[in-house]
Amino acid sequence: MRILNVVGARPNFIKIAPFLHAAKKYRSLDMVLVHTGQHYDYNMSQVFFNDLCLPKPDIHLGIGSGSHAGQTGRIMMALDKAIERIKPSLVVVVGDVNSTLAGALVAAKLHIPIAHIEAGVRSFDKRMPEEVNRVVTDSVSDYLFAPSDTARRNLINEDASPANIFVVGNIMIDALKFYYRPTDFTGRHKLAPKGYAMVTLHRPANVDDKSVLSGIIKALIAISRDVPVFFPVHPRTRKQLDKFNLLKDIKRAGNIITSEPLGYIDSLNAIKNARLVLTDSGGVQEEAVAFRVPCLTLRQTTEWVETIGKGNSLAGNKPGLIIKLAQGILRKGVKVSSGASIPLWDGRASERMMGVISRRLSRS
């Protein structure tokens, strides 16, 4: 039984790794890996294949960047040919990126069953392209692998069939538990363990608007007066910082350390050793809470509602609130519950998913 796994962006690579590892126990399943090329920069793609010991993709579509519609359309056209050629029994898509939506739509039109890893995750903010991708992907999927009971309820409220919903846990925690190892990250970057704030920033709502991005940089500069700020800069963000002439403000601040995007292992070490994390990334929110590091999410909403009150807080993207919350944490501290206290954040989501797939396919 052939299973075609579609990946294309940094979060996909992290989540598919433990899934493919769990699949090794099932010798009757032939796992085919397709990389759409949505992320293609070395620091956003190949370094994750290296860190996660992922196999070389069986097919690389080489799509590249573009508008949401253009990128999704090109992926669909290329995937259509690949799926017709491979004739899989099941197509697996992961998370909420354009490659996920494209894979689900092509498989649905070809009448091939679809499994969605991270089904039912909702921010309820349809201004975010990821939210649109999640909702549409779930609407055509046959295996809805929900990370939590909250996600299950979201799917039920959208009239998904209960027979197709499987609450399996959070696959990001599988990856963290399986692949994390300590490195000399802090020494290489001349950072004191628990002596810096880490920030990641890439969402269009934060980086594509000059006034919003300027405000966030203003907040980081203020925070850097209390503690060094480590800022691995996403390619999209670097482009916008340059466009809006904000790089000079960062350099002038003197206590903001920028770097290229980090590989997976270094990213985990950067989060684990931070005193505070500021991010607009869903994955980084999960990882910070798992490591018991206080996190400020630079958005009005989050799809990972389970993390709120367990070390993660919504700070929005206005500088005043970001500075106030960050200074409160840095000066007074905050007690963070372990991510292990969240149900099914136990590193076994992949095993549960593979069990469901194996049983269902063997009966079909």
Determine the longest span between alpha carbons in the chain, in angstroms. 64
H helices of 195-281, in order, are 204-207, 210-223, 235-243, 247-253, 264-272
DSSP 8-state assignment for residue 131 = H
H helices of 273-318, in order, are 282-290
Query: 């340059």: which residue's tokens?
Result: 242
On the 0-12 / 13-18 / 19+ scale of CB atoms within 10 A, 133 is buried
152 and 18 housed in the same domain: yes
Q: Mention every residue, 6+ apart, whose C-beta is less than 8 A from residue 37.
A: 8, 60, 61, 62, 63, 64
> What CA–CA distance (Å, rounded) separates 235 from 256?
17
CATH of the domain at 324: 3.40.50.2000
241 and 163 housed in the same domain: no
Give the per-residue pLDDT at 25: 94
238 and 332 housed in the same domain: yes
209 and 254 housed in the same domain: yes
250 and 328 housed in the same domain: yes
**Assigned domain for 178 exists:** no
**Contact by Cβ (8 Å): 277, 284:** yes
What domain range includes position 328? 185-341
Give the per-residue pLDDT at 333: 74
236 and 269 housed in the same domain: yes
**Assigned domain for 176 exists:** no
Q: Mention every residue, 6+ apart, whose C-beta is less than 8 A from residue 188.
A: none
Q: Mention every residue, 6+ apart, whose C-beta is less than 8 A from residue 344.
A: 147, 148, 167, 168, 169, 170
Which residue ranges in the chain fall short of pLDDT 70? Answer: 39-45, 337-340
DSSP-derived 3-state class of residue 219: helix
> What CA–CA distance (Å, rounded) separates 68 from 97?
10
Give the per-residue pLDDT at 202: 94
137 and 208 housed in the same domain: no
> What CA–CA distance (Å, rounded) separates 232 from 270?
10
**Contact by Cβ (8 Å): 89, 357:** no
192 and 243 housed in the same domain: yes
231 and 160 housed in the same domain: no
Q: How many domains does the chain have?
A: 2
User: Residues 333, 253, 288, CA angle at the centre, nearest 5°?
Assistant: 35
195 and 319 housed in the same domain: yes
Give the per-residue pLDDT at 38: 72
129 and 235 housed in the same domain: no
Using alpha carbons, select from 101, 110, 109 the residue that is nearest to residue 138.
Answer: 101
**Contact by Cβ (8 Å): 142, 111:** no
Give the per-residue pLDDT at 67: 83
E-strand spans in the chain? 2-7, 30-35, 59-60, 90-94, 114-117, 143-146, 165-167, 197-200, 229-232, 256-259, 276-279, 295-297, 312-314
Give the per-residue pLDDT at 53: 84
Tokens standing for residue 83: 């799926």
Give the per-residue pLDDT at 41: 58
pTM recorded for the entire structure? 0.91
Q: Which residues are designated catalytic? A: 202
156 and 64 housed in the same domain: yes
Give pLDDT tens digits for 269-315: 999 999 999 999 999 999 999 999 999 999 999 999 999 999 999 99
Give the per-residue pLDDT at 43: 56
